[in-house]
Structure formats: C-alpha cells, structure tokens
Amino acid sequence: MCGIIGYVGPRKVVPVILGGLHKLEYRGYDSAGMAILEKGEVVVVKRRGKLKELEEAVTGIDYTATTGMGHTRWATHGKVEDRNAHPHVDCKGQLAVIHNGIIENYEALRQDLVKRGHVFVSDTDSEVIAHLMEDQVAAGADLLDAARVTALQLDGAFAFLVLGKAFPGRIVAVRKLSPLVLGVGEGEMVLGSDTPALLDYTHRIIPLHDGDVVEINEQGFAFYALDDGARLERAPMMVQWNASAAEKQGFKHFMLKEIHEQPVVIRDTLYSRIDIDTGHVDLQEFQGEAVPKRVSIVAAGTSYHAARVGKYLLEELARIPTDVSFSSEYRYGRPIVQPGTLGIAVTQSGETIDTLAALRLQRSLGAKVVAITNRPESTVARESEISFVTQAGIEIGVAATKSFMAQLIAFYLIALYFGQRNGVLDSDSSVRYASQLSSLSQKCEQVLEYAGMMETIARKFYKVHDMIYVGRGVNYPMALEGALKMKEISYIHAEGYAAGELKHGPIALLDQDVPVVGILPQGPLYEKVYSNLQESIARDSPLVVLGDKKDRRAQAIATDFIPMPTVDELFSPVVCALPLQLLAYYTADAKGLDVDQPRNLAKSVTVE
C-alpha cells in the first residue's frame, strides 16, 4: 500500500530514491514520484504508471541534491493520474509530502482549508497534509513541530514524510499505524516503508512505533512523541538479511525464484527445531507456556489458507479445538475468547492492518497472542507476546509462495509440539511424523523437476476463463490457495471447493471449457475425491490431477497427471503447493502478464 523512501546524507539522492523505489515497488505501482531539495528549491517529479516512467522523466538530468524522498503509489483516493501521484505540495510549492495510509477525516479538513484560501490540485486525501503544514510553517513553526501538530489533526492510518525549502538537509516523518523503518547508516539516514529498501545503506534499523515522530538530518536522527513532542530514546537493531536476496538471480521473475527457494525455506524453518531420531520438537518460543485449551487464528489472503491447514493439523495432531477467521471479519465481530485460548496471527509482512487489529482485539479479550510472521521487526511481531519467525527470507513477488510454505511448516511444528506436550502423540508417531517432515524439503526438490511439465499444462489451458480447484480435508485449503494464486496473477476466474461440495452447486459450471484441478493424495479420503473427480469428467471438464506418482487409476482418468512424491496425506499440502504455484505462474507468463506485480494488488495491505 504505497512505498515510501527518504534519504539525507552525502550521496546524490536521485539514484538512492530510484533504487529504494525499485525495492518497494511491490507495495504499489500505479504511479511514482519524488521531491528533492535541489539548489535551495523543492523540485517535484511524478508520473503515473510504473516506476520506469519516473526514471525516464529524470534520465539525463544531473541533479546534485542529497536530500530527497520518493513514493510509489497504490491508489486509494483519486484515480491513477499524474496529479494524484505523490509527492504533494503546498500552495507555494515550498513544502512536499509523501504519505502511505488513509486520512479518514480529509474531506472536512480539505473543506476548511479551501475556505481559508488553499488551492488543491489532486483528489487525494494526502494533499491535506501539505496544506496543513503550510499553515503551521506560516505561523512560524519549525518543520518538526509543523509535522507533529499537523499529524495530531489527522484521523486514520498514516506514515508520512515532509521536507521543505526553508529546511535544508532535513526530513521529518510521522507514523501512526502504517509501517515505517529508519535505517541508521554512517553519516547517512534513510527512511523506508520496508527494510529491504534500506539494506544497500545499512543493516542497523529502527522500526518506528505508533505515535513516533522522527527527524533525520546530516547529524543523525532524533525521535519524539507525537502527542506531546517529548524526546524518545530508540535503539537500532541489526538485521541479517542481505540486499542480494532482493535480486532475481537469473530467474525470469521473483515469483519463480521464490518458488524454487522453497526446499531451502523448509530446511531453514525446521532447522534446530526438530530431532529426527527421537521425533522431539523443541520450540523455544513456547517455553514455559501451557498447552492452550483452544486456538483462535486470524489471517488474510494466502496466510489465511496456511491457517486453514494449521487448524486441521492442530486438531489432528494435538486435538486442540481451533477456529480460523479472516482478520477483517474477526475485528468487527464479537468473538468469544474462552480462558486458555491462544490467539495466533499469521502474517508474512506483519503489517496487514486487519490482522494487526484482530490481534489487538484478541489480546484485549484475554488471549495470549503469537505471531507467525516472516518479519521479526514488524508491528505484529512487536505487539505479540510470542513471535514464531518463519525463515522464508525477503519475498518480493506480490503473490505469496515461499512465505506460505514457511507458514505451513510452522504449523506442522507447532501442532507436533503441542501434540507431544499434551500426550496425544506417542514416541512412535512422533518419530514417524518427524521423519516425514524432514523428508519434505527433498521431496519438494523432486517436484520442482516437473516445472517443465507445469509449463506445458499451463500453455494448454491459459486461454480459459474459469477454473475449479478441488480437494478434501487438509487439501481443501490447498484448493483455495491454488485458485487464489491463479486469480491473483493470471486474472483467470478460479474457485476452490471442498471436493464433496462440487455436486451442491459448482458442478453446474462445468463443461469442456472449465478445467478442474483435483488434489488426490493417497489416504483415507482417496476414494471420495476420486469419485468427485469422476463427476467432473462426466461433465466433460478437462481434468488436471495432482496424485501419487504410482497412482495408475488417477493417471487413467486425468487429462493431465502431475506425479507427486509419495507422502502421508497429512503432509501432502507441502508437496502440492509447488505445482499449484507453478501452474499459476506459467499460466500468467503464457498470457504475458506482469507476474511479480499483478494489477490492483499490493504485497502488504496497510489500509482497511
């Protein structure tokens, strides 16, 4: 939901801004812009469209500015047009602002500002910030106070940065709800919506807290409280990520690279948490905690599908009653949290605003809360009592792949851990499950060898308008996830169903133009799913089956058969995830679509 970068230091700032925006473009890519302090003036350049439009607009101009900020937009208020792109300026063009979030009371503020003679040029909520700042500065306020007093007038969620002609070498930023991270370099300071944008300059970071105001200048940084302006102490933390993780490394797209990284992600997430010989799972994160009586999971998007698999695992392996809710529904419902409930927020980014709000509600209702997140420095991680950090590394592709895999592995570990602790799992079954879990990384490597086959299948079907995915039990959420991947990046209408539900309505959609993708692992539900797939063949649907490599019956009925390594049904979601992702990837690629930046989506949704 918009990416923000700001820099003060010795370097020429335009390449710094463009480099940062490249790393943040996954957050929004409707338009991009920058404001720099060039020879004592505020210079603004902004363009609708992808970042390359902005790059072209500044190519060949030798800007010498060393203070500046940039923005990549995901439109909320105001169409995708140059004038609605950020930065926005005050009436005199002497103050510039970039903003991520939504100012909920902007209409009232705007009306009032217009009455007082301010002239607006955009339809955005964000422009009010520049004009409110203008009034403050006209009344004699310094940049810092002007930003703080302005922020106090705003309702909603925001992270904004301001700079001004009268304030050389300075940027002030304010955060309320929307994420913002400060990178503390040697003689240079950089602010960004997300850590990867800072890593070329420093690995020392300070995530801003809600209600933080920070000034950066050539001397360093200083934090203040939004409410009363009191000075705050904030110490930097080190992040280990390396900037090259955010490069494609020879793959055509980030998504493809990230799909191929999954065997390593599985190994990294399991590392030191499981003893294969004894089957013992050791989760330091939960040490000293009682086994919960109930689990209540909140999540959005792909994380929600991982949570649905998680429910199945917690109930199967640990016999803990578990419910799963969309964060956006949970937060506005009247959930009942019984004593002994463990709340789990699953979120790759740790910044999804609905999930953050749902987690806060869980806490306020008395649940102990755990974050399963890929971002230890994120707001959700900071606000949780326990963080289970998945080891997926930086994920750039907007469609989540390897972070989903890491979330699945986290749930296997947590379910096994609780199952062992509460005595549901004896040592034999622990050893068996641990060995299955440990073999998954290698099995996923085998599945990746079928990438070419997935491409061939995708090239057969990429022109269809509708697809249906079916699975049962632990693979029902995988049908949902397979369909979501397909929708997100190929724009094909795809729906996931519990295979047994096909006959209760969706079957009416089936004909020779609607392929069905069936997830058919060996196990107790095999015959049931097999019959459901027969039902779709009888309606002439082409049938793509993910089944055990030795399954001759499935091979006989499938139009296209994807051979999967032999695994226990309980672990089949892990091996099935890859072909489902690859099918979506190659379909989108066959259609010539922008796989890493699908239309209308953003990787991290920090608006409601």
The catalytic residue positions are: 2, 603
Q: 4 or 558, CB closer to ligand G6P?
A: 4
Q: Around Cβ 121, how many Cβ atoms within 10 Å?
A: 11
Beta-carbon contacts of residue 59 (< 8 Å; ≥ 6 apart): none
Q: 50 or 204, CB closer to ligand G6P?
A: 50
Task: Answer yes or no whether residue 302 interacts with ligand G6P by CB under 6 A.
Answer: yes
Locate 354 and state its tokens.
């609905």
Choice from 165, 168, 601, 608 touching ligand G6P (CB under 6 A): 601
Task: Answer yes or no whether residue 179 interacts with ligand G6P by CB under 6 A.
Answer: no
Determine the residue type at 223: F
Identify the CA nearest to 151 among candidates 171, 167, 130, 170: 130
Task: Answer yes or no whether residue 477 interacts with ligand G6P by CB under 6 A.
Answer: no
Identify the CA nearest to 93 among candidates 41, 169, 33: 41
**Least separation, in Å, of the C-beta of 328 and ligand G6P?**
10
Q: Characterise 501 by phi-psi region: left (phi > 0), alpha (psi -120 to 50), beta (else).
A: alpha
- The answer to whether residues 492 and 540 touch, using CB atoms and an 8 Å cutoff, is no
Choice from 265, 300, 408, 546 touching ligand G6P (CB under 6 A): 300
Identify the CA nearest to 28 among candidates 90, 70, 58, 56: 70
Task: Answer yes or no whether residue 27 interacts with ligand G6P by CB under 6 A.
Answer: no
**Least separation, in Å, of the C-beta of 400 and ligand G6P?**
4
Gyration radius of the chain over CA positions: 25
Task: Answer yes or no whether residue 355 interacts with ligand G6P by CB under 6 A.
Answer: yes
Q: 352 or 532, CB closer to ligand G6P?
A: 352
Beta-carbon contacts of residue 334 (< 8 Å; ≥ 6 apart): none
Task: Answer yes or no whether residue 301 interacts with ligand G6P by CB under 6 A.
Answer: yes
Judged by CB under 6 A, the stretch of 251-259, 397-405, 444-452, 543-551 that binds ligand G6P is 397-405
Judged by CB under 6 A, the stretch of 160-168, 198-206, 273-281, 600-608 that binds ligand G6P is 600-608
Choice from 136, 193, 202, 348 touching ligand G6P (CB under 6 A): 348
- Which H helix or E strand runs over 488? helix 476-490
How many residues form the binding site for ligand G6P (CB under 6 A)? 16
Quote the distance between the C-alpha of residue 482 and its chain's center.
17
Q: 358 or 516, CB closer to ligand G6P?
A: 358
Dihedral over Cα of 434, 437, 439, 441: its sign: negative
Task: Classify residue 368 by burial, with Cβ atoms within 10 Å: 0-12, 13-18, 19+.
Answer: middle
Q: 269 or 541, CB closer to ligand G6P?
A: 269
Q: 265 or 605, CB closer to ligand G6P?
A: 605
**Least separation, in Å, of the C-beta of 173 and ligand G6P?**
22
Task: Answer yes or no whether residue 498 interacts with ligand G6P by CB under 6 A.
Answer: no
Q: 295 or 567, CB closer to ligand G6P?
A: 295
Locate 7 and state its tokens.
């820099």
Choice from 270, 400, 440, 489 touching ligand G6P (CB under 6 A): 400
DSSP, collapsed to helix, strand or coil, labels residue 82 as: helix
Q: 341 or 373, CB closer to ligand G6P?
A: 373
**Least separation, in Å, of the C-beta of 405 and ligand G6P?**
13
Beta-carbon contacts of residue 414 (< 8 Å; ≥ 6 apart): 283, 286, 310, 313, 314, 388
Task: Answer yes or no whether residue 349 interacts with ligand G6P by CB under 6 A.
Answer: yes
Task: Answer yes or no whether residue 486 interacts with ligand G6P by CB under 6 A.
Answer: no
- The answer to whether residues 305 and 480 touch, using CB atoms and an 8 Å cutoff, is yes
Task: Answer yes or no whether residue 605 interacts with ligand G6P by CB under 6 A.
Answer: yes
Task: Answer yes or no whether residue 303 interacts with ligand G6P by CB under 6 A.
Answer: yes
Choice from 143, 603, 606, 607 touching ligand G6P (CB under 6 A): 603
Locate 229 and state its tokens.
């302006």
Sheet of strand 67-73, all strands in order from the earlier edge strand to the far edge: 41-48, 31-38, 67-73, 3-8, 189-192, 181-184, 204-207, 237-238
Chain positions contacting ligand G6P, by CB under 6 A: 300-303, 347-349, 352, 355, 398-400, 601, 603-605
